[in-house]
Amino acid sequence: MKTRLVRSSAYIMAFAMIMSCSTIKNANKTQKGAGIGAAGGAIIGGVIGNNVGNGNNTVLGAILGAALGGAAGGYIGNRMDRQAERIENEIPGAEVKRVGEGINVTFTQDAGVFFDSNKADVKGASAATLNKLARIFMEYPNSNILVEGHTDSSGAEDYNMSLSKQRAESVVAFLNTKGIGSNRFTTKWYGEAQPIGDNTTPAGKTQNRRVELAIVASPELKQEAMKETGN
C-alpha cells in the first residue's frame, strides 16, 4: 500500500512509540491492532491530537484515540485491511494509510476530493471519487467515517474556517444521498491551519482545498470484536 510521510514534527516522538505497529508495509494487521493497545493507543492519540491542528484532534489522532487494542484491536484490524484494499483497488488516486485499527485516506489531485476556490460544492472528479467510496462504505456498514475540511490561505481566517466546515458537510451530504447514514459521520474543520501544499503557488493552493477521511470501527464492530475475542 501507499504511505504518506507524517508532516508534523510535533508528534514524531509519540508516533515513534507505535511505528512498529502502525506502518503499513509488510506488517501483520492483527498484530498491529493488538500492538496499539499495548502502546496505549488512546493516550498516544490524545498526545498527537493535542499537538497538531491548534489542539484539535487530527485524522491520525482520531484513529489512534479510538483504538481498543489487544485481541479486539486485531479483530478490527483484519476488517480494516479488507476495506483499505478495496479503496486502493477501486480508487487509484487514493492514498491509503492503515494506522492501528483504522484507515486514513487522502487523495491525489487526479482522483481526489478537492474544491474550487471559495466553493464547497462536490462536482466532477470529486463526485466520481465519492461515488466509488460510497459503494465501499455500503459494503462495510460497521465502520464510521471522520470527514475533515480544509482550505487554502486565501481570505480571512474566520472565513476559511467556515468554508472548511461547509466542505466537510458538503461531502457528508453527498454521501448521504448515496445511502450512507448520517449517524456514521463525524465532521471536523481546520480552515487554513493544516496545509499540505505551498500556499504561495496556485498548485499548492489547489492541494489545500480538500477533505481528508478517517475510517474507524463503529460501536457495533467494537462490541462484536470484544465478544468474539473475549477482550
- CATH number, domain with residue 55: 3.30.1330.60
Return all residues near 23 (Cβ < 8 A) that are at least 6 apart.
3
Residue 169: per-residue pLDDT = 97
38 has pLDDT over 90: no
Average pLDDT, the chain: 79
Is residue 2 domain-resident? Answer: no
CA distances from 152 to 2, 50, 163 (A): 25, 22, 10
26 has pLDDT over 60: no
Calculate mean pLDDT across residues 39-50. 38
Is residue 155 domain-resident? Answer: yes
**Count helices and strands in the chain by DSSP H and E runs:** 10, 5
192 has pLDDT over 90: yes
Residue 179, burial from CB neighbour count under 10 angstroms (0-12, 13-18, 19+): exposed
Is residue 1 domain-resident? Answer: no
Identify the band that residue 16 occupies on the pLDDT scale cut at 50, 70 and 90.
very low
Identify the band that residue 212 occupies on the pLDDT scale cut at 50, 70 and 90.
very high
Residue 164 in 3-state DSSP?
helix
Residue 58: per-residue pLDDT = 74
Least confident residue range of 40-44, 80-84, 180-184: 40-44
Residue 34: per-residue pLDDT = 44
Between CA 129 and CA 166 the distance in angstroms is 18
22 has pLDDT over 90: no
14 has pLDDT over 60: no
Overall number of domains in the chain: 1
This prediction's pTM: 0.76
73 has pLDDT over 60: yes
DSSP assignments along 81-141, one per residue = HHHHHHHHHH-TTEEEEEETTEEEEEE-TTSS-B--TT-----HHHHHHHHHHHHHHHH-T
Helix axes 157-176, 124-139, angle to 10 degrees: 50
Least confident residue range of 70-74, 111-115, 126-130, 189-193: 111-115
102 has pLDDT over 80: yes
CA distances from 230 to 52, 117, 119, 179, 222 (A): 35, 50, 48, 33, 12
Is residue 3 domain-resident? Answer: no
| Parent domain of 45 | 9-229
Is residue 4 domain-resident? Answer: no
Is residue 70 domain-resident? Answer: yes
Identify the band that residue 39 occupies on the pLDDT scale cut at 50, 70 and 90.
very low
- Higher pLDDT residue, 2 or 154? 154
Is residue 68 domain-resident? Answer: yes
44 has pLDDT over 60: no
